[in-house]
């Protein structure tokens, strides 16, 4: 599978408990997949073509990936994460986005008995799930409920100042996307919520029903990079004249009504992404977290970041680049513009992408990009 084609989609038959190939060479823009059930050997998906239900699909996962998969999330690029992150098996590492614990479990299995992992997550449900899943590691795992940009204060409370590695797996977990009550996905009917921590004041309902046209257009354009931002914003305002917009499927139907079928899935993803970023301030938290990695990492230790859309990846790329370049001395200026030296060495000149096999078997991994840098 390339990034533009799905070579074979296997259709799951609940009556016969079997699979068969039903579609070939579908453009990724035409369909979307949502895991609905994790089975012994793979994942059962809901399939949508051009934004409409189109049956179910089934993918068999490799034994290695399946080992660390859970109902919360299938961890992305495990081999690359472990290869870049772990330099000292006896060190202290941070998983700043603990989620379902897939990456955390793989990291803990690589560590020696002296090694430790600090797992933090903003989502209380995810944190409890991972604590139960990883309890066999005992005191090697330390968990805290926090946003990853609060890592310095978390370490301070633990009596620590430096760590041997930091992992940030950005984006929304499979469990969050598939939970009807969280409102993250246009594939699920649920309330307009989208709060990552479940307790913030601003919700998707507030954004969709209260924001002015110019503000909706701005966030759709800036956070969703959506070309039809104005058209979607106007459609939302016209619908609001008739009454409030309460659910994800109501919002999705508004978007479908003004976007051509061939482009509707991408637009749906972008609009929902934009609203989520606005509510949770994802980019603000990420920028703050990246800055803290420079002070927290020990020399020759590493930060690994997995992003899932261009806004996140661009931010990570530019930060690593800035920290990897020493300030330039300009003799024509009366003072030095700065005195800092390079603080990071970039380990991934280009982002690491999932293999074709992984992208085929875990469709949500297909947009993932991994970047890594080492503290100098």
Question: Same structural domain for residues 359 and 296?
Answer: yes
**Residue 246: CB atoms within 10 Å:** 14
In angstroms, the CA 282 to CA 97 distance is 12
Question: Same structural domain for residues 92 and 228?
Answer: no
In angstroms, the CA 188 to CA 192 distance is 11
**Mean pLDDT across the chain, nearest whole number?**
83
The angle at the Cα of 362, spanning 179 to 195, to the nearest 5 degrees, equals 30
Residue 30 and residue 261 in contact, taking contact as beta carbons nearer than 8 Å: no
Question: Same structural domain for residues 256 and 202?
Answer: yes
In angstroms, the CA 112 to CA 109 distance is 8
Helices (H) and strands (E) in the chain, counts: 14, 14
Model pLDDT, residue 55: 61
In angstroms, the CA 153 to CA 294 distance is 15
Question: Same structural domain for residues 101 and 168?
Answer: yes
Model pLDDT, residue 180: 74
User: How would you classify the pairing of strands 297-307 and 163-169?
Assistant: parallel
Q: Tokens in use for 329?
A: 């001395």
Edge-first strand order for the sheet with 163-169 is: 141-145, 116-121, 92-95, 163-169, 297-307, 369-375, 344-346
Question: Same structural domain for residues 261 and 199?
Answer: yes
Question: Same structural domain for residues 324 and 226?
Answer: no
Least confident of 16-20, 105-109, 208-212, 243-247: 16-20
The angle at the Cα of 276, spanning 275 to 280, to the nearest 5 degrees, equals 120
Model pLDDT, residue 49: 58
CA-atom Rg of the chain in angstroms: 22
Phi, psi angle pair for 216, to nearest 5°: -60, -45
Question: Same structural domain for residues 163 and 182?
Answer: no
Range list of H helices, the chain: 63-68, 78-85, 102-110, 124-133, 151-157, 174-178, 204-210, 213-224, 229-240, 248-258, 264-280, 282-296, 310-324, 356-361
The CATH number of the domain holding residue 110 is 3.40.50.150
Residue 323 and residue 294 in contact, taking contact as beta carbons nearer than 8 Å: yes
Question: Same structural domain for residues 168 and 316?
Answer: yes
- 238 vs 231, 233, 245, 254, CA distance in Å? 11, 9, 11, 10
Token pair 């039809």: residue: 228
What's the DSSP call for residue 188? S
User: How many residues in total does the chain contain?
Assistant: 376
Whose CA is closest to 44, among 71, 63, 25? 71
Average pLDDT for residues 249-275, to the nearest whole number? 96
Model pLDDT, residue 360: 85
Question: Same structural domain for residues 257 and 181?
Answer: yes
**Residue 376: CB atoms within 10 Å:** 15
Share of the chain above pLDDT 70, in %: 76
Q: Does the pLDDT at position 2 exceed 70?
A: no
Question: Same structural domain for residues 84 and 166?
Answer: yes
The CATH number of the domain holding residue 239 is 1.10.150.170
Q: What is the largest CA-CA distance in the chain?
A: 79
For 145-154, write each residue's pLDDT tens digit.
999 999 999 9
Model pLDDT, residue 47: 59
For 323-358, write each residue's pLDDT tens digit.
998 776 556 655 545 547 899 999 999 999 999 999
The tally of domains found in the chain comes to 3
Question: Same structural domain for residues 154 and 298?
Answer: yes
Question: Same structural domain for residues 159 and 213?
Answer: no
Q: Tokens in use for 334?
A: 């009366």
Model pLDDT, residue 197: 81
Q: Which of 246, 274, 302 is the last residue of a domain?
A: 274
In angstroms, the CA 376 to CA 374 distance is 6
Model pLDDT, residue 98: 95
For 215-240, write each residue's pLDDT tens digit.
999 999 999 999 999 999 999 999 99
For 21-64, write each residue's pLDDT tens digit.
333 333 333 444 444 444 444 555 555 555 556 666 555 545 54
Q: Which of 245, 274, 303 is the last residue of a domain?
A: 274
Q: Which of 45, 60, 75 is the last residue of a domain?
A: 60
Model pLDDT, residue 34: 47
- Between residues 143 and 189, the one the model is more confident about: 143
Phi, psi angle pair for 258, to nearest 5°: -120, 5
pLDDT band at 14 (very low <50, low <70, confident <90, very high): very low
Range of the domain at 42: 5-60
Residue 78 and residue 86 in contact, taking contact as beta carbons nearer than 8 Å: no
């Amino acid at each position: 599978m390339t990034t533009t084609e799905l070579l074979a989609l296997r259709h799951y038959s609940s009556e016969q408990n079997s699979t068969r190939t039903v579609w070939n060479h579908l453009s990724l823009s035409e369909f979307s997949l949502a895991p609905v059930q994790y089975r012994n050997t793979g994942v059962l998906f809901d399939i949508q073509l051009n934004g409409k239900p189109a049956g179910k699909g089934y993918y068999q996962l490799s034994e290695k990936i399946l080992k660390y998969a859970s109902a919360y999330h299938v961890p992305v690029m495990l081999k690359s994460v472990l290869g870049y992150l772990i330099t000292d098996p006896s060190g202290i590492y941070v998983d700043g986005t603990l989620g379902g614990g897939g990456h955390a479990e793989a990291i803990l299995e690589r560590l020696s008995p002296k090694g430790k992992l600090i797992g933090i997550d903003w989502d209380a449900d995810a944190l409890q799930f991972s604590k139960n899943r990883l309890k066999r590691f005992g005191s090697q795992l330390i968990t805290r409920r926090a946003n990853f940009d609060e890592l310095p204060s978390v370490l301070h409370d633990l009596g620590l100042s430096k760590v041997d590695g930091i992992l940030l797996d950005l984006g929304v977990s499979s469990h969050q996307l598939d939970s009807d009550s969280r409102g993250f996905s246009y594939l699920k009917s649920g309330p307009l919520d989208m709060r990552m921590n479940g307790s913030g004041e601003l919700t998707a309902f507030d954004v969709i029903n209260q924001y002015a046209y110019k503000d909706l257009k701005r966030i759709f354009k800036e956070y969703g990079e959506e070309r039809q931002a104005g058209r979607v914003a106007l459609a939302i305002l016209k619908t609001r004249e008739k009454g409030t917009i309460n659910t994800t499927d109501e919002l999705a139907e508004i978007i479908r009504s003004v976007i051509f079928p061939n482009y509707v899935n991408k637009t749906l993803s972008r609009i929902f992404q934009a609203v989520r970023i606005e509510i949770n301030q994802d980019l603000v938290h990420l920028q703050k977290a990246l800055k803290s990695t420079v002070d927290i990492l020990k020399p020759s230790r590493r930060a690994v970041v997995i992003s899932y859309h261009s806004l996140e990846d661009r931010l990570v790329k530019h930060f690593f680049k800035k920290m990897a370049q020493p300030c330039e001395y300009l003799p024509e200026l009366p003072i030095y513009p700065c005195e800092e030296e390079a603080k990071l060495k970039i380990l991934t000149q280009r982002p690491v992408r999932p293999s074709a096999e992984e992208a085929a078997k875990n469709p949500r991994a297909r947009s993932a990009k991994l970047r890594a840098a080492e503290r100098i």
